[in-house]
A and B are shown apart, each in its own frame.
Chain A
Amino acid sequence: MTGVPISWYLILSAVLFSLGVAGFLFRRNIITVFMCIELMLNGVNLSFITFSYHLKHVNGQIYSFFVMVVAAAEAAVGLAIILTVYKSRGTLNIDDVSSMKN
Chain B
Amino acid sequence: MQLWLIPVFPLAGFLLNGIFGRRASKAFINTIAIGSVLLSFAWVLKTLLGLGDLTTPHIERYFTWIQSGSLHIGFDLAVDRLTAVMLLVVTGIGSIIHIYAIGYMAHEGGYYRFFSYMNLFMFFMLTLVLGANYLILFVGWEGVGLCSYLLIGFYFTKKFATDAGNKAFIVNRIGDFGFSLAMFLIVVQFGSLDFGTVFPAVPGKSEAALTTIAFLLLVGACGKSAQLPLYVWLPDAMAGPTPVSALIHAATMVTAGVYMVARSAAIYTHAPAAMEAVAIIGVATAFFAATIGLAQNDIKKVFAYSTVSQLGYMFLGAGCGAFSAGIYHLVTHAFFKALLFLGAGSVIHALGGEQDLRNMGGLRHKIPWTFWTMMCAGVAIAGVPPFAGFYSKDEILMAANHHAPWMYWVGVITAGMTAFYVFRAMFLAFFGKYRGEAHPHESPAVMTLPLAALALLSLGGGYIFKVPEFLAPLFPLAEEGHDLGPVLISVAAGLLGIGLAYLFYVARPELPDALVARIGGLYQLVYNKYFVDEVYGAVVVNPVVSGSREVLWKGVDVAVIDGAVNGVGSSARGIGGVLKLLQSGYIRSYALWVALGSVLLLIVMGVAGGLR
A and B interact physically? yes
Which residue of chain A is the closest to B588 with respect to CB atoms? A25
- Chain A contacts for B595, CB-based, 8 A: 21, 25
Query: When the two chains form their complex, are residues B588 and A97 in contact, meaning their CB atoms are under 8 A apart?
Result: no
Bound complex: CA A25 to CA B588 (Å): 5
Query: When the two chains form their complex, are residues B583 and A101 in contact, meaning their CB atoms are under 8 A apart?
Result: yes
Query: When the two chains form their complex, are residues A98 and B592 in contact, meaning their CB atoms are under 8 A apart?
Result: no
Query: When the two chains form their complex, are residues A98 and B591 in contact, meaning their CB atoms are under 8 A apart?
Result: no
- Write the A15-37 contact mask toward B (1 if CB under 8 angstroms, else 0): 00000010011001000010000
Bound complex: CA A19 to CA B261 (Å): 79
Bound complex: CA A21 to CA B588 (Å): 10
Q: Counting CB contacts under 8 A, is A2 at the interface? A: no
- Chain B contacts for A94, CB-based, 8 A: 586-588
Contact of B592 (CB < 8 Å), options: A25, A33, A97, A100: A25
What's the nearest-Cβ distance from chain B to residue A41, in Å?
15
Bound complex: CA A69 to CA B70 (Å): 46
Query: When the two chains form their complex, are residues A101 and B591 in contact, meaning their CB atoms are under 8 A apart?
Result: no
Bound complex: CA A18 to CA B280 (Å): 86
Q: Counting CB contacts under 8 A, is A74 at the interface? A: no
What's the nearest-Cβ distance from chain A to residue B596, in Å?
11
Query: When the two chains form their complex, are residues A95 and B591 in contact, meaning their CB atoms are under 8 A apart?
Result: no
Contact of B585 (CB < 8 Å), options: A25, A33, A100: A100
User: Interface residues of A: mostly helix, strand, loop or mixed?
Assistant: helix
The number of A-B residue pairs with CB atoms under 8 Å apart is 29
- Chain A contacts for B56, CB-based, 8 A: none
Bound complex: CA A21 to CA B586 (Å): 15
Contact of B584 (CB < 8 Å), options: A21, A33, A98: A98
Q: Counting CB contacts under 8 A, is A99 at the interface? A: yes
- Chain A contacts for B583, CB-based, 8 A: 100-101
Count of interface residues, chain A, beta-carbon cutoff 8 Å: 13
- Chain B contacts for A24, CB-based, 8 A: 588, 591
Which residue of chain B is the closest to A28 with respect to CB atoms? B588
Which residue of chain B is the closest to A99 with respect to CB atoms? B585
Within 8 A of A (CB), among B576-596: 583-588, 591-592, 595
- Chain B contacts for A95, CB-based, 8 A: 586, 588
Query: When the two chains form their complex, are residues B587 and A97 in contact, meaning their CB atoms are under 8 A apart?
Result: yes
- Chain B contacts for A99, CB-based, 8 A: 585
Which residue of chain B is the closest to A37 with respect to CB atoms? B591
- Chain A contacts for B588, CB-based, 8 A: 24-25, 28, 33, 94-95
Which residue of chain B is the closest to A22 with respect to CB atoms? B595
Bound complex: CA A94 to CA B587 (Å): 7
Bound complex: CA A4 to CA B3 (Å): 74
Bound complex: CA A98 to CA B585 (Å): 5
- Chain A contacts for B591, CB-based, 8 A: 21, 24-25
- Chain B contacts for A101, CB-based, 8 A: 583-585
Within 8 A of A (CB), among B282-310: none
- Chain B contacts for A102, CB-based, 8 A: 585
- Chain B contacts for A97, CB-based, 8 A: 587
Bound complex: CA A95 to CA B584 (Å): 10
Within 8 A of B (CB), among A67-102: 94-95, 97-102
Bound complex: CA A21 to CA B587 (Å): 12
- Chain A contacts for B584, CB-based, 8 A: 98, 101
Bound complex: CA A94 to CA B585 (Å): 10
Bound complex: CA A22 to CA B522 (Å): 95
Bound complex: CA A99 to CA B583 (Å): 11
Bound complex: CA A39 to CA B591 (Å): 15
- Chain B contacts for A100, CB-based, 8 A: 583, 585, 587
What's the nearest-Cβ distance from chain B to residue A14, in Å?
11
What's the nearest-Cβ distance from chain B to residue A6, in Å?
17
Bound complex: CA A97 to CA B475 (Å): 82
What's the nearest-Cβ distance from chain B to residue A56, in Å?
23
What's the nearest-Cβ distance from chain A to residue B577, in Å?
14
Bound complex: CA A98 to CA B587 (Å): 7
Bound complex: CA A22 to CA B592 (Å): 10
Bound complex: CA A75 to CA B182 (Å): 60
Interface residues of A (CB under 8 A from B): 21, 24-25, 28, 33, 94-95, 97-102
Q: For the complex of A and B, list the 5 residue pairs with the smallest distance between their C-beta atoms, beginning with the closest.
A: A101-B585, A98-B585, A100-B585, A24-B591, A95-B586
8 contacts between A and B (CB under 8 A): A21-B591, A25-B591, A33-B587, A95-B586, A99-B585, A100-B587, A101-B583, A101-B584
9 more A-B contacts (CB under 8 A) besides A98-B587, A101-B584?
Answer: A24-B591, A25-B588, A33-B588, A94-B586, A95-B586, A98-B585, A100-B587, A101-B585, A102-B585
